[in-house]
């Protein structure tokens, strides 16, 4: 036989202390006041102290805008987090069940239309604001450094865009400069104050080109072209390139560095390298937006040669 347990303490507390306790607005005001002070202080501290130092730094326009975006999101999120924390802390301290006393129940508050409606309204407004802001930031600095696929819709304002092809393979990065004869190098050298288009592709599996300080991340997909833009600022210096998509055993080792030079230094380097590597460049597959490995890669090559029965079929460069 089963019977329902009689749960003790079914009556709400009617002591004088509880009557004083019943002033809802008192609690609400106190929580709001504590929250307001804490949120403002911490928000201001964060925006001014941490803001300028946030990743990924300000080396390029899109990196700077990502930094600002991060600051804005945190400045919005911090008050929300603090509201929950202040509320929980207040509740857990003030509304404990008195120790050792027989079990009593709290008031049967099952809902409150205004509070529920306000919560839904406020969270919707915050979320929609984040969406609008994020979209604006995405469009503004020409795609914010992310890979837009082969047909980008957000392009830099400047008409003078330097094209660099980034080729990922297991497990290294190489770069081709089509405006300088298409030479291939493992050094990523870029000029300052220039809009740059990275055309990222892969020769085998999916990698991801992540130039941290440039604020660029674009997946390297085999057989396809993923375009990401950046506009360098006037600062010169080095930056790190990592692979951000697991591509096999040595994924962790696909780390190199690149350098931002002044425009004249870059020109000198590029023309010099073009001349130095002319012989090697002639042996490379013709420059193309993506490269398909030789259909019969039994000898491991991406380059057709006389040994391949299908060597008359040009699968790249056309």
Partner 1 sequence: MTIVAESPVVTVTDEPRQGWLSQHLGTAVIGAVGGYLLGHWAGNLIASGYPTVTGTAANGANDVAVVLGLSFGVFGWLLGIGALNYPLAKLVGREPLAERPSVGWSRYFRFTLDHKVVGLQYVIGVLMFFFTGGLLAMAIRTELLSPTTHIIGPGTYIAIVGEHGTIMMMMASSLVLGPLGNYLVPLMIGARRVAFPRIEAASFWVFVAGYLVILTALPLGGFPTGWTGYAPLQTQATLGMDAYLVGFAVIGLGMILAGFNMAVTIINYRAPGMTWGRIPIFVWSMLATAALLTLATPVLFVAGLFGVLDRTAQTAFFVNEHGGNAFLWQNLFWFFGHPEVYIMALPGFGIVGEILPVFTRKPLFGYRVGAAGMIGVSLLSFFVWQHHLFQSGINPDMRPLFMLTTELISIPTGFIYLVGMGTLWRAKIRFEVPMLFALAMYFNFLIGGVTGVYLSDVPVNVTLHGSFFVLAHFHYTIMGGLVFAFFAGLYYWMPKMTGRSLNKTLALWHFWIMFIFFNLTFFPLFLVGLLGQPRRVFEYAPHLQMLNDLSTVSAYLLAASMIIFIVNFVWSLYIEPKAAPENPWDSKGLEWATATPVPFHNFDRIPLVLTDPYRYGEPDAPPVAQITEVPLPPRVREPDPLGSDAGGVTGGGSADG
Q: Which of residues 104-123 bind partner 1 (CB under 8 A)?
A: 104-112, 115-116, 119-120, 123
Confirm or reject binding of residue 124 to partner 1 (CB under 8 A).
yes
Confirm or reject binding of residue 26 to partner 1 (CB under 8 A).
no
- Say which residues have a Cβ less than 8 Å from residue 282's Cβ, sequence separation at least 6: none
Rounded Cα gap, residues 219 and 176, in angstroms: 17
Q: Of residues 145-204, which lie at the interface with partner 1 (CB under 8 A)?
A: 145-154, 204
Q: Of residues 47-66, which lie at the interface with partner 1 (CB under 8 A)?
A: 54-56, 62, 65-66
Closest distance of CB 238 from partner 1, Å: 13
- Neighbouring C-beta atoms of residue 209, cutoff 10 Å: 29
Which of 292, 302, 303, 308 binds partner 1 (CB under 8 A)? It is 292
Closest distance of CB 17 from partner 1, Å: 12
Confirm or reject binding of residue 27 to partner 1 (CB under 8 A).
yes
Helix (H, G, I), strand (E, B) or coil at 145: helix
Site string for partner 1, 199-238 (x = CB under 8 A): -----xxx-x-x-x--xxxxx-xxxx-x------------
- Neighbouring C-beta atoms of residue 91, cutoff 10 Å: 12
Q: Of residues 256-285, which lie at the interface with partner 1 (CB under 8 A)?
A: none
Give 109-178 as a DSSP string: ----HHHHHHHHHHHHHHHHHHHHHHHHHHHTTGGGGB---SS-S---S-S-EEEEEEEEETTEEEEEEG
Side-chain half-sphere of 187: how many Cα atoms within 13 Å?
Answer: 10
Rounded Cα gap, residues 3 and 74, in angstroms: 53
Confirm or reject binding of residue 37 to partner 1 (CB under 8 A).
no
Task: Tell me the number of residues near partner 1 by CB under 8 A.
Answer: 108
Which of 37, 77, 235, 275 binds partner 1 (CB under 8 A)? It is 77
Confirm or reject binding of residue 295 to partner 1 (CB under 8 A).
yes
Confirm or reject binding of residue 12 to partner 1 (CB under 8 A).
yes
Closest distance of CB 11 from partner 1, Å: 5
Burial of 208 (0-12, 13-18, 19+ CB in 10 A): buried
Beta bridge partners, 189, equal: 259
């Amino acid at each position: 036989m089963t019977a329902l347990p009689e749960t003790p303490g079914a009556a709400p507390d009617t002591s004088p202390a509880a009557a004083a306790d019943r002033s809802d607005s008192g609690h609400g005001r106190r929580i709001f006041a504590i929250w307001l002070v804490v949120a403002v202080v911490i928000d201001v501290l964060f925006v001014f102290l941490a803001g300028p130092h946030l990743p990924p730094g300000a080396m390029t326009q899109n990196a700077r805008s990502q930094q600002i975006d991060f600051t804005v999101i945190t400045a919005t999120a911090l008050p929300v987090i603090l509201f929950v924390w202040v509320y929980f802390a207040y509740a857990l301290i003030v509304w404990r069940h008195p120790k050792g006393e027989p079990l009593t129940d709290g008031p049967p508050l099952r809902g409150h239309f205004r509070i529920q409606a306000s919560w839904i309204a406020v969270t919707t407004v915050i979320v929609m604001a984040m969406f609008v802001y994020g979209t604006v930031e995405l469009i503004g600095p020409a795609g914010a450094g992310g890979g837009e696929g082969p047909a980008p819709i957000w392009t830099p304002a400047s008409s003078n865009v330097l094209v660099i092809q980034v080729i990922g393979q297991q497990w290294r990065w190489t770069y081709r400069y089509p405006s300088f004869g298409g030479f291939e190098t493992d050094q990523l050298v870029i000029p300052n104050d220039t809009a740059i288009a990275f055309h990222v592709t892969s020769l085998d599996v999916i990698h991801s080109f992540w130039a941290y300080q440039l604020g660029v991340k674009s997946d390297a997909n085999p057989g396809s072209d993923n375009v990401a833009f950046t506009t360098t600022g006037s600062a010169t210096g080095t930056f790190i390139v990592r692979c951000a998509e697991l591509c096999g055993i040595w994924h962790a080792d696909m780390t190199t560095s690149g350098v931002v030079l002044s425009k004249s230094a870059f020109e000198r380097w590029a023309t010099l390298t073009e001349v130095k590597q002319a012989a090697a460049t002639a042996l490379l597959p013709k420059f193309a937006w993506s490269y398909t490995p030789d259909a019969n890669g039994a000898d491991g090559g991406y380059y057709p040669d006389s040994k391949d029965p299908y060597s008359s079929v040009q699968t790249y460069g056309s």
